[in-house]
Chains A and B, each alone.
Chain A
Amino acid sequence: MTDLTELGVAQIRDGVAGGEFTAVEVAEAFNANVAAAQAALNAFIIATPEKAVEAAQATDAKRAKGEALGKMGGVPIGMKDLFATFDVQTTAASHMLEGFKPQYESTVSQKLWDAGAGMLGKLNLDQFAMGSSNETSYFGNVISPWKRNDGGNAALAPGGSSGGSSAALAARLCPAATGTDTGGSIRQPAAFTGTTGIKPTYGRCSRWGVVAFASSLDQAGPMARSVQDCAIMLEAMAGFDAKDSTSLDLPVPNWEAALSGDMKGKKVGIPKEYRVDGLDEDVSKSWDDGIAWLKDAGAEIVEISLPHTKYALPTYYIIAPAEASSNLARYDGVRYGLRDLPDGANLQDMYAATRAAGFGPEVKRRILIGTYVLSAGFYDAYYTQAQKVRALIAQDFAKAFEQCDVILAPTAPSAAFGLGENVDDPLKMYLNDVFAVPASLAGLPAMSVPAGLNREGLPLGLQVIGKAFDEQGVLNAGLALEQRAQFAAKPEKWW
């Protein structure tokens, strides 16, 4: 019998619908993998095997009655622990929210359950989605299932912030997972783990019920092991939500049905500014491979310029912390979550003690940066200036898209790094997002697909950036890459 945990979303959906196996069998197979890997990989903050089985039973019962099963019928998934799930602990990987059980369900997770998906558990992440390596989680870092081929045993980062999602996918703990991307948090972990993920256009997926990091950038998206699976899951997640004022009031296209790897007549832009000095040789080579593959798929390659690229990272590290410093003010110990009330403490003391104990160092760093850039006397020099540059970056893309349909670039400047390698140097850590952040600032759809392995045997990702609302163009270019990359590598099981 096939190992059900090797199957992706489409295969499970079709297999359950066609009666090749039951949804419960699938859920139990993944539940077993989740349990077996937890100690070694720490991909989940909590597992919810009963939820997965419950949803699977519902799907099987529907099938027995001959009812339609939904886009994600019978597919168990991992839920990044940034999405509020009804009565199931939702922590944002922070001590601040340890034990917090929302009495509401995020719009995106609800849509997934409505589409027939079941929940395997809540996936680990960087605390409040702030990080690129999953090392900022209060619940311990996620360990990537990948190892370098140097015979060493160094623990590697699964990327971040959706590192639980990426690790779980690579280790076959789930066929798909939700991610959120504020400045690369879907794409970079996907690249680090040889998996696939798409951040749709800002506003495609409702932010209602997703713990906020930086409101103007946060965007949920699917992570899976194929472009098709991402398309299916994105259809289930996306859609207008009146409860989110920034939600896009557009119909959700049938992306899966319109998937095509044929790039004839399409122009692919190669941004010269991304070809930075000292770019990792293997990354550079994989980019060239990508160019060749898309050419092979019929695309015309054009060089484009995104002149403000070098300002993207500093701009991001002003805007995102500014919004975060305000978004995280609600964690004050008054109404829910952690409360640290020292003896004789007054309100101010309680705030200070609660927030000192509840937030990790990276979260505190960003709150401090954000508070600083918004404060009187600095606001114009930082925040206002950053907003102007953000507009210029968006303009760069608008101009570039007059010359091309999609943009191809590396997802990250390197393959996965070892845990602990960058923790003492936040700037180096932040540089990980250098290729991911511009599309976030412009609110554009962007995806990462595996391109191959580097000389250390670690996956590298290629990034496709598209025009606003053109997820189809992004998915199609991603598919063209996927068809040619023939990426079949998977981590050798050591856990």
Chain B
Amino acid sequence: MSTYRIQGATGDWEVVIGLEVHAQVTSNSKLFSGSATAFGAEPNSQVSLIDAAMPGMLPVPNRECIRQAVRTGMAIEAQINKWSRFDRKNYFYADLPQGYQISQLYHPIVGEGSLTIEADEKAGIPADKVIGIERIHVEQDAGKLMHDQHPTMSYVDLNRSGVALMEIVSRPDMTSPAEAGAYLSKLRTILRYVGSCDGNMDQGSMRADVNVSVRRPGEELGTRTETKNVNSVRFVMQAIEHEASRQVDVLESGGKIVQETRLFDPTSGSTRSMRSKEDAHDYRYFPDPDLLPLELDDAFLEECRASLPELPDAKRARYEGELGLSAYNAAVLTADVDTFAWFEALLGETASAQGKAPAEVAKQAANWLISEFFGALNKLGKSLEDSPISHEQAAELLALVGKGTISGSIAKQVLETMFETGDNAGVIVEREGLKQESDTGAIEAKVDEILAANADKVAQYKDGKVALFGFFVGQTMKAMAGKGNPQVVNEILKAKLG
């Protein structure tokens, strides 16, 4: 149980949060038409007769969209409804050509499921927590109004009109902004694993309606408000914080919370009223008579199940168990599709480059990826997707370290050069003469020189100032231009200093 509380003037308040996430289904064409769905196309260039609701046009369900919704349901271990149906939600707006949105009110395709958010002490999530998911249904997106194209008119872009969305409705199981943030992140991760949504929140592929209410601990649920279309994890958390405080202020000053729809303003981080329940539309939902009920057969379900990838929780457990990674590293590497894909490719290459089993090189690869490679990318302001080097190249570098050809610190230098030139690690090491010196005789000679030149420090060391050991290592390495094998240097120094 989260310990998150709003400290009001009259005591503590608990927050209750539920999220309705709209996730754009990854598919080449729209839910009921053959139009393309690419983001950023010229306005009204991806509009079919159906999307524009010309007279006599009829919707035909897109199998791929249905498949993606079912796979998503399976990924959250939800009940898949073999019989579902589309309903019309009727309202007038200029971005809604049909005058109704085809959705699923009464019989959604996916029923009860759940996902687990991980413990995060720092964020105030003391233990893993299961968040219930009530349902997933599929529906059409609306078009977009553009108010900045003409002084007195609004323009309509129907490219989005009819694009398939999954509405993923959580239970009101979250009790802090952090939990809501973790839920949204986890959901996004799962969607991206499954490949049913690209999760690009800045492009609007994923957005959340945030339901918030407050209550005294242990009391009945309070009246909730719904803040619409919040499009980042951070904004969701901000909206909850603001909305919960606002509600507490209202209640503590003797007011009542009005059930209403609110808007989030990202610049101020606050919410404001959009319309109250009294003004709410009567959507006159009824089964869409243009569409037959959606009936899924076992073969289809089996195909959906078989196509599911290893999911985040399972992958994380495997990284910790089979590969022996730390919980932290496993969490970092499984947090996103791009990351684990890179890691797994690197792992495979590294294992084969070094002739070892993946489990034997997993730690090396994970540590290097997280502490060296991510840092280097960050410095360049790049992501894995646009990494200047491939995982084959990275594996070669790691193999050079693994075989003792270069040291870890030289590896950093080599990586930088690789980023700059795109050359392979072996080529750079050869060209710049960076091979590590492991020859005992050569190292001994250098050590002798250093010890002779620093006789005073040797005496201090022998008197018990053992911290000077590092000084000798540093001096030796410096004299060898960083190429001395650190292990051998250590051993020889220890022997010579007694």
Contact = CB atoms under 8 A, between A and B. Distances in A.
Contacts of A244: 58, 60
Contact of B289 (A92, A208, A216, A375): A216
A379 B87 CA distance: 14
A254 interface: no
Given A326-B286, A374-B286, A90 B55 contact: yes
A457 interface: no
A299 B92 CA distance: 55
A335 B52 contact: yes
Contacts of B292: 245-246
Contacts of B56: 83-84, 102, 106, 207-212
Interface centre among A208, A211, A214, A329 (most CB of B within 10 A): A329
B103 to A, nearest CB: 13
Contacts of B58: 207-208, 243-245
A438 B394 CA distance: 74
B53 interface: yes
B90 A245 contact: no
A102 B99 CA distance: 19
A208 B60 CA distance: 11
Contacts, number: 99
B55 A351 contact: no
Interface in A197-211: 207-211
A480 B331 CA distance: 79
Interface string B69-99: 0000000000000000000101011100111
A383 B97 contact: no
A102 B56 CA distance: 10
Contacts of B88: 326
Nearest to B145: A347
B258 interface: no
Nearest to A387: B287
Contacts of B60: 242-245
Interface residues of A, number: 44
Contacts of A330: 53, 55, 97-99
A102 B55 contact: yes
B53 A335 contact: yes
A211 B58 CA distance: 10
Interface string A323-345: 10110111010111000000000
Contacts of A92: 55
B49 A215 contact: no
Contact of A84 (B55, B98, B285): B55
A348 B94 CA distance: 10
A273 to B, nearest CB: 27
Contacts of A207: 56, 58
A244 B50 CA distance: 12
Contacts of B54: 84, 102, 104, 335-336
Nearest to B59: A245
A215 B100 CA distance: 14
Interface size range of chain B in the complex: 20 to 34
Contact of B291 (A245, A322, A328, A371): A245
A102 B60 CA distance: 20
A426 to B, nearest CB: 22
A329 B55 contact: no
A379 B286 contact: yes
A167 interface: no
A100 interface: yes
Interface centre among B56, B98, B284, B291 (most CB of A within 10 A): B56
Interface in B267-304: 282, 284-286, 288-292
Given A84-B55, A329-B90, A245 B290 contact: yes
B55 A375 contact: no
B402 to A, nearest CB: 58
Interface string B27-54: 0000000000000000000000100111
Contacts of A336: 54
A336 to B, nearest CB: 7
Contact of B290 (A246, A334, A374): A246
B59 A104 contact: no
Interface string B417-446: 000000000000000000000000000000
A97 B100 CA distance: 20
Contact of A334 (B57, B90, B156, B291): B156
Nearest to B284: A374
Contacts of B195: none
Contacts of A325: 90, 284
Interface centre among A242, A244, A322, A335 (most CB of B within 10 A): A335
Nearest to A84: B56
A326 B285 CA distance: 10
Contacts of B90: 325-326, 329, 374
Nearest to B86: A245
Interface centre among B55, B288, B289 (most CB of A within 10 A): B55
A375 B284 contact: yes
A97 B282 contact: no
Interface string A437-461: 0000000000000000000000000
B204 interface: no
14 contacts: A84-B54, A102-B55, A208-B57, A209-B56, A242-B60, A243-B58, A246-B291, A329-B98, A329-B99, A329-B100, A330-B97, A334-B156, A335-B52, A374-B285
What 3 pairs across the A-B complex have the smallest Cβ distances? A329-B99, A215-B289, A374-B284
Given A325-B90, A329-B99, A374-B285, 9 more contacts: A207-B56, A208-B58, A211-B55, A243-B60, A245-B290, A326-B99, A374-B90, A374-B286, A379-B285
